[in-house]
C-alpha cells in the first residue's frame, strides 16, 4: 500500500514528499519485531521510547519509511501523536470499509460478563459477531488467545480486518482504561458505550481514581456516537451523565425507579435467579443461571443494550435462559456437598460483591482463598484482606500471579489488612493452598477460590506455568 494512502486521516508534516509515494507491505513499531518492507511508527510509550533507537532504525533495510513524533536531520514523516498515527495507519491498512455495530464496555468490574451477555443475545438473535476481551478474542466461531483485555492497536485493527472478511455485523468488546489512555481503539466510533462501575484498581498505572475515571470517560466523551448506557448507582456513573454530550443516555440502577431500567423483584439461590426488571416502563421477567447481585447489574446493562437495538423482549429472555456461564466467573463445582466457586474477583469491590452474594446461602462456613497479582496496584492488597475477613470463617492467603515481585512481600501487603489473624492461614504455593482449603472443607461449606478465574497459567518471574484453579479442584476430588 502507498504511504500516502496509509496516512489518510493523519495530520503530518513531511519535508521529503517522495516518502509518501513509497509502497510498504506492513507496519512495524517494535525494534524486536521489524517486518520486511514496512513503515515504522515510533512513539514514546509507558516504559519505552523507540525514538531512542532512531539511528539504528533509519539504517535498517527492512524499514522503508519512519513516522516520528519529532524532527530529525534525516527525512521522516512527523506526527503530533505516534500512538494515534499508528492506530489510523493500522486502520487504513487492515480495514476496507467496515461499519459494524460497535459496542464497547468499560468499568472496573463486570466488563467481561456484560460483553459475553450482549454477544450472546445478539448471536442468539441471528447476527454474526466478533468479541474481544480478557478471556479470549472471538471472530464468528473462531477463537484466538487474548493478549490484553483490549488488544494493542495493531492487533485490534488486524482482527477487525478478519471480522470484516467474516462479515461480522457486531463487534462487542471490553475497552480497558489502559486501552483508552493508550489510544488503542483510536479511530473507532462506538454505537454503544457501557459503563459498569469504578472502584480501586490499577492505581499503579493511573495517578488516582479521578485520573482512572478520566481515562474511562473517554469512551463516552471521545469515542461514542450513539447511546451511552450508565450504571447510576455508581458515584462516577452519576458524574458521567454530565459529561456525555450529544448522545442518547440510558441508565440502570438496582432500585432507583428514575432509571430506565431497575429491579422490581428478584429471587436468588446458589443455582439460579428469577428476576423481574422494569425496562422503560415495561416489566420483563426471566430466569438466569447467573447468581450474585453484581450479575443483575451486568444483566441490566446487557438487556438495555439489546432493547435499544430493537431486539424484542421475548427473544431477550429466551437468549438469557440459554446463557450458561462465563468461564471463571462464579463457576460452581460441587463435591461431597461442598460448594466450590471459582471467581475472577481480584479487587476488593469484586470480592465484596461475590462474598456478599454467597453469604446469605452460608449453611456452615465460608472458606475464602485468594492472593494478589504482583506488579499491579499494591493498595488493593490490604483492602481485599479486609473484605475476605468480613465475610469468611477461614481465609487462606496465597499467591496469585506474583510476576516479578517476591510472593512473600505481596502476602505481607495482604496481611496488613486483617484485624484478627486467628482465622487466617498463609500458604504461598497456590496448589498447596487449594489442597489445604479443600482438605479443611466439610459438607455444606462454601469455598471461594478467588482471583484467577479462567486463567490457565501462573506468572512467576517472567515464566508462564500451567495452572488452573478448576483443574486443581477436580484433581483433588477425582484423585488425578
Ligand atoms: C503498561 C501497559 O499497559 N503497557 C501496554 C502498552 O505499552 P506501550 O505502548 O506504552 O509500550 P511500551 O512498552 O512503553 O513501548 C513503547 C513502544 O516501544 C516498543 N518497544 C518496547 C520495548 C522494547 O524493548 N522495544 C520496543 O521497540 C513497543 O512495541 C511500543 O511500540 O501498550 C502495549 C500495546 O498495546 C501493551 O501490550 C502493553 O501492555 C502490557 C503488556 C500490560 O501488561 N498491560 C496491562 C497492564 C493492561 O493493558 N491491562 C489492561 C487492563 C486489564 C483490566 O481491565 O483489568 C488490558 O487492556 O489488558
Ligand atoms: N457488575 C459488577 N460489579 C462488581 N463486581 C463484579 C461485577 N461483575 C463481575 N464482578 C466481579 O468481578 C469479577 C470480574 O468480572 P468480569 O470478568 O466480568 O469483569 P472485568 O471488568 O472484565 O474484569 P477485568 O478487568 O479483570 O477483565 C467477577 O469474577 C466478579 O467477582
Ligand atoms: N486485568 C487484570 C487482571 C488481574 C488478574 C489477577 N489474576 C492478577 O494477575 O493480578 C490486570 O492485569 O490487572
Ligand atoms: Mg475483563
Query: Which residues does 41 contact at the CB level (< 8 Å), separation at least 6?
Result: 27, 28, 29, 67, 82, 85, 86, 89
pLDDT band at 214 (very low <50, low <70, confident <90, very high): confident
Query: Is the CB of residue 46 below 6 angstroms from any atom belonging to ligand 1?
Result: yes
Q: For 337-429, where are the alpha helices, taking DSSP H only?
A: 348-358, 380-391, 407-415
CATH 3.40.1190.10 fits 101-322, yes or no: yes
Average pLDDT over residues 463-476: 98
Are β-strands 170-174 and 129-132 bridged in parallel, bridged antiparallel, or unpaired?
A: parallel
Cell numbers placing 459:
506468572
Candidate of 373, 401, 407 to mutate for ligand 3, largest count of ligand atoms within 8 Å of Cβ = 373
Query: Which residues does 177 contact at the CB level (< 8 Å), separation at least 6?
Result: 106, 202, 205, 206, 212, 215, 216
Residue 254: the pLDDT is 97
* Distance (Å, whole) CA 144 – CA 297: 28
Q: Which atom of ligand 3 is nearest to the CA of 372?
A: 10
**Is residue 110 part of an annotated ligand binding site?**
yes
Average pLDDT over residues 97-124: 97
* Distance (Å, whole) CA 219 – CA 234: 17
Report whether pLDDT(166) > 70: yes
Counting Cβ atoms within 10 Å, is residue 50 exposed (0-12), middle (13-18) or buried (19+)?
Answer: buried
Residue 262: the pLDDT is 98
State the CB neighbour count (10 A cutoff) for residue 282: 9
DSSP string, 200-260: S--TTTSSSHHHHHHHHHHHHHTSEEEEEEEETTSHHHHHHHHH--SSEEEEE-SS-TTSS
Candidate of 57, 147, 148 to mutate for ligand 1, largest count of ligand atoms within 8 Å of Cβ = 148
Domain segments of the chain: what residues?
A: 3-94, 101-322, 331-478
Separation of CA 353 and ligand 3 centre (Å): 17
Average pLDDT over residues 401-427: 97
Architecture of domain 3-94: 3-Layer(aba) Sandwich (3.40)
Separation of CA 382 and ligand 3 centre (Å): 16
Q: Are 328 and 294 in contact (CB under 8 A)?
A: no
Query: Is the CB of residue 47 below 6 angstroms from any atom belonging to ligand 1?
Result: yes
**3-94 and 331-478 in the same fold:** no
* Distance (Å, whole) CA 452 – CA 332: 14
Report whether pLDDT(203) > 80: no
Report whether pLDDT(228) > 70: yes
Separation of CA 152 and ligand 1 centre (Å): 8
Q: What is the percent of the chain with per-residue pLDDT over 70, rounded to a whole number?
A: 99
* Distance (Å, whole) CA 302 – CA 316: 10
Report whether pLDDT(355) > 80: yes
Q: Which atom of ligand 3 is nearest to the CA of 403?
A: 9
* Distance (Å, whole) CA 189 – CA 358: 39
Average pLDDT, the chain: 96
**DSSP label of 44:** B
- Who lines ligand 3 at CB under 6 A? 149, 346, 373, 376, 400-401, 451-452, 455
Q: Which residue has 428469577 as its cell numbers?
A: 274
Residue 210: the pLDDT is 85
Instruction: Name the 3-class secondary structure at 189.
Output: coil
Report whether pLDDT(68) > 80: yes
Separation of CA 243 and ligand 2 centre (Å): 24
Separation of CA 459 and ligand 3 centre (Å): 11
pLDDT band at 480 (very low <50, low <70, confident <90, very high): low
Sheet containing 38-41: which strands, arranged edge to edge?
A: 12-13, 77-79, 63-68, 38-41, 26-28
CATH 3.90.190.20 fits 331-478, yes or no: yes
- For residue range 245-269, what is the model confidence (pLDDT) as tens digits? 999 999 999 999 999 999 999 999 9
Amino acid at each position: 500500500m502507498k504511504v500516502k494512502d496509509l496516512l489518510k486521516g493523519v495530520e503530518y508534516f513531511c519535508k521529503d514528499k517522495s516518502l509518501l509515494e513509497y509502497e510498504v507491505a506492513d507496519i512495524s513499531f517494535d525494534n524486536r519485531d521489524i517486518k520486511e518492507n514496512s513503515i515504522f511508527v515510533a512513539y514514546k510509550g509507558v516504559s519505552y521510547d523507540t525514538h531512542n533507537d532512531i539511528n539504528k532504525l533509519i539504517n535498517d533495510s527492512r524499514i522503508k519509511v519512519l513516522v516520528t513524533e519529532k524532527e530529525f536531520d534525516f527525512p521522516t514523516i512527523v506526527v503530533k501523536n505516534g500512538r494515534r498515527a499508528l492506530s489510523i495507519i493500522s486502520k487504513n491498512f487492515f480495514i476496507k470499509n467496515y461499519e459494524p455495530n460497535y459496542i464497547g464496555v468499560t468499568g472496573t468490574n463486570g466488563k467481561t460478563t456484560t460483553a459475553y451477555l450482549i454477544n450472546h443475545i445478539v448471536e442468539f438473535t441471528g447476527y454474526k459477531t466478533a468479541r474481544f476481551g480478557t478471556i479470549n478474542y472471538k471472530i464468528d466461531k473462531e477463537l484466538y488467545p487474548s493478549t490484553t483485555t483490549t488488544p494493542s492497536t495493531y492487533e485490534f485493527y488486524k482482527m477487525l480486518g478478519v471480522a470484516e472478511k467474516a462479515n461480522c455485523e457486531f463487534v462487542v468488546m471490553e475497552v480497558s482504561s489502559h486501552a483508552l489512555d493508550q489510544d488503542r481503539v483510536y479511530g473507532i466510533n462506538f454505537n454503544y458505550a457501557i459503563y459498569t462501575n469504578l472502584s480501586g484498581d490499577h492505581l499503579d498505572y493511573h495517578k488516582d481514581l479521578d485520573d482512572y475515571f478520566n481515562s474511562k470517560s473517554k469512551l463516552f466523551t471521545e469515542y461514542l456516537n450513539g447511546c451511552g448506557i450508565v450504571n447510576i448507582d455508581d458515584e462516577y456513573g452519576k458524574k458521567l451523565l454530565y459529561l456525555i454530550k450529544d448522545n442518547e443516555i440510558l441508565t440502570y440502577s438496582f432500585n432507583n425507579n428514575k432509571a430506565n431500567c431497575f429491579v422490581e423483584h428478584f429471587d436468588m439461590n446458589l443455582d439460579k435467579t428469577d428476576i423481574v426488571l422494569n425496562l422503560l416502563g415495561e416489566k420483563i421477567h426471566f430466569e438466569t443461571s447467573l447468581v450474585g447481585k453484581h450479575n443483575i447489574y451486568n444483566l441490566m446493562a446487557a438487556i438495555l443494550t439489546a432493547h435499544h437495538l430493537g431486539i424484542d423482549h421475548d427473544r431477550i429472555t429466551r437468549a438469557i435462559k440459554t446463557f450458561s456461564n462465563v468461564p471463571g466467573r462464579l463457576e460452581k463445582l460441587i463435591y461431597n456437598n461442598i460448594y466450590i466457586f471459582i471467581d475472577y474477583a481480584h479487587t476488593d469491590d469484586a470480592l465484596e460483591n461475590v462474598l456478599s452474594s454467597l453469604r446469605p446461602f452460608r449453611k456452615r462456613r465460608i472458606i475464602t482463598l485468594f492472593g494478589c497479582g504482583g506488579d499491579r496496584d499494591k493498595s488493593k492488597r490490604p483492602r481485599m484482606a479486609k473484605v475476605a475477613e468480613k465475610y469468611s470463617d477461614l481465609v487462606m492467603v496465597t499467591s496469585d500471579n506474583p510476576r516479578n515481585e517476591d510472593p512473600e512481600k505481596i502476602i505481607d501487603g495482604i496481611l496488613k489488612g486483617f484485624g484478627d489473624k486467628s482465622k487466617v492461614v498463609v500458604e504461598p504455593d497456590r496448589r498447596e493452598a487449594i489442597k489445604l482449603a479443600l482438605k479443611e472443607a466439610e459438607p455444606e461449606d462454601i469455598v471461594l477460590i478467588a482471583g484467577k478465574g479462567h486463567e490457565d497459567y501462573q506468572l512467576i518471574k517472567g515464566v508462564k506455568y500451567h495452572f488452573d484453579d478448576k483443574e486443581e479442584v477436580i484433581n483433588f476430588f477425582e484423585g488425578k
